[in-house]
Amino acid sequence: MKRAILIAVLLNLMVACSNTSYEIETLRTAIGQGDARPDPRVQSLIDAGAPRLQVGFLKSGLAGTMVLEGERDGVRTWLSVDGAALLTRDGMVVAERGFGGGLMSSDVSQPLAAIRSGREGEVTRFHSFLTGNDEIVTRSYKCRIEDRGEKEILVQGKPVATRLMRETCRNTDHEFLNLYWFSRASGRMVQSRQWLGDFLGVVTMREVRGQGA
């Protein structure tokens, strides 16, 4: 029962028609299902009460819980039930592995510096995607950072005072919106909404603590 709670996954079967059945199954398998058997690495982290990340992919309607494997050079690695990974720096996604989206790396130094300081203005970010031809293509985006003021949100059922930062990005092919909520007390990013590319679309993320943390 404990394991089921820790890796519980809410599946919404409304799937975007623009994705193939194979692609959706890849994502569904990575996120896991209610009775999925965790990767041994993930199970050991669950048993140790590692911090957890609640994620939801809005385009596919799939959602689940990931656990923190570790941190290296400021980048945190979060693992899904089957070992797929999201990599974050100070809460901002910089890469993914195993979800099928092909986001190999991101240079988010400019937007991260701006939102961490609460500074408004224009910045640039870069995403490198793996194509179907096994080639890496890097795309740049011009982004506008805006301070949207103080917002109170619920985190694990408790009200948290936050400051909301908004990032609106575009290039010749894409336009997307990222939102970041920072705790007024700790300065940590406690909730976010971030775009990960054409296939994965928008992911919502909220960090929570494990049973032993």
Give the model's pLDDT for residue 160: 93
Is pLDDT at 20 greater than 70 in this prediction?
Answer: no
The rounded percent of the chain whose pLDDT value lies above 90 is 63
User: What is the pLDDT confidence band of residue 150, given thresholds at 50, 70 and 90?
Assistant: very high
The reported pLDDT for the residue numbered 177 is 98
Q: How far, in Å, CA of 86 to CA of 53, rounded?
A: 10
Is the pTM above the cut of 0.85? no
Q: How many CB atoms lie within 10 A of CB 16?
A: 14
Nearest one of 197, 30, 55 to 130, comparing CA atoms = 197
Q: Residue 210 — pLDDT band, cuts 50, 70, 90?
A: low
Backbone φ and ψ for 135, nearest 5 degrees, come out as -115, 145
Average pLDDT of the residues of the chain: 84
**What whole-number distance in Å separates Cα of residue 160 and Cα of residue 117?**
19
Termini Cα distance of the chain: 19
User: Does the pLDDT of residue 5 top 50, yes or no?
Assistant: no
pLDDT of residue 4: 38
Residue type, 160: V
Tens digits of per-residue pLDDT, 108-132? Answer: 999 999 999 999 999 999 999 998 8
Question: Could you tell me the CATH superfamily of domain 2-208?
Answer: YmcC-like (2.40.360.10)
Residue 22: helix, strand or coil by DSSP? helix
